[in-house]
Structure 1
Amino acid sequence: MKIVLLADTHLPSGRNKLPSRLLEACGTADLIIHAGDWKSMQVYEELSQYAEVIGVSGNVDDEDIRRSFPLKQTVEVSDYRIGIVHGHGEGKTTEKRALEAFEDEAVDIIVFGHSHIPMMRYAGKTLMINPGSPTAKRKLPNYSFCILHIEQEVRVEFVFL
């Protein structure tokens, strides 16, 4: 199972568009997970041309996105429970807010965004993944997204653009 993970696309914004390397990965994906801040349904419509798209809404999303996607959700993929949340809110770090969003649920992986900072680490037995942003890197040196491979083992591949 190949899952493309992304967040914080913030499109349309200026001349930004989804990068060709991301779309190439989506073309061979079994599933695409977007962790919020799409900004408009155009992103969903474009990604949907490549694979099934699951996602959540974030703090900058328009009304169409908020109606179409919950603030958080859990999906099961190949016996792994994946929690998805944007991670925005008051107080604490984005990572802590994401972890607390699923404190009453048993999840193996949490995919979140909001900070635009790519990271992967374990919090207890839960794998935390922030894919960064493929279109809004802020002060970081690179744009980014992830590919989550679920086979006999779980492997996370960061793609830096």
Structure 2
Amino acid sequence: MNEFKIGVISDTHGLLRTKVLELFQNSNLIIHAGDIGSIDIINSLEKIAPVVAVKGNCDKDSSLNKYHKTEVVELGGKLIYVLHNARELDLDVKTSGFHIVISGHSHKPENYFLNDILYLNPGSAGPRRFNLPISAAAIYIDGSSVRAELFDIEK
């Protein structure tokens, strides 16, 4: 069985760190959970793997208009719901058949299961905000197994 790796990033606000590019090597897919800041971020990530992105509340640049507030992704038999702000989640993810919910916005990394659904916020990989960490994440899907790992990125 194949293991799938998904690089997960959010809140870059126009800053893409070299460490993120290293961590996302060998990813099958990259998901950006909004507040991209510049289309250049997406272009750089696409050199590693296909990118699915959502528009965040700070994404005002017209080059980012093609992105929507939510996206649905299927990989390795798992259904993933992506949005920027988890507080705007307006559907029942369990009855909708989702296995994973990815969000950003808060700049606070979170990785937990609730009712057998993985909730992941990779935190912010962009400019430091307050005393919150600089972080990104990866999701690994291997058959029925799903796990996520948060990465502290300081450079």
Asked if residue 5 in structure 1 is aligned to residue 8 in structure 2, the reply is yes
| Among 111, 125, 138, the residue aligned to 2:129 | 138
Q: CA deviation at 1:52?
A: 0.4
Tell me how far 1:4 sits from its aligned partner.
Answer: 0.3
Q: What amino acid does structure 2 have at the position aligned with 1:56? A: V
Structure 2 partner of 1:156: 148
Matched, 1:109 2:100: yes
Structure 1 residue ranges, 4+ long, deviating more than 4 angstroms after superposition: 101-104
| SS class of match (2:23) | helix
CA shift, 1:140, in A, is 3.0
- Structure having the larger proportion of residues in helix: 1
Q: SS where residue 76 of structure 1 aligns?
A: strand
Mean Cα deviation higher: 139-148 or 47-56: 139-148
Cα RMSD after superposing both structures: 1.7
Aligned length: 147
The code of the aligned residue for 2:115 comes to: G
TM-score by length of 2: 0.87
- In structure 2, the gaps of 5 or more residues are none
Q: Percent identity?
A: 31
Gaps of 5+ in 1: 12-16, 88-94
Separation of aligned partners in 2, 1:160 and 1:145: 7
The one-letter amino acid of 2:83's match is V
CA contact under 8 A between 1:22 and 1:145: conserved in structure 2? yes
Cα distance, 1:146 vs structure 2: 0.2
- Please state whether the residue corresponding to 2:24 is helix, strand or coil: helix
Per-residue deviation at 1:102? 5.4
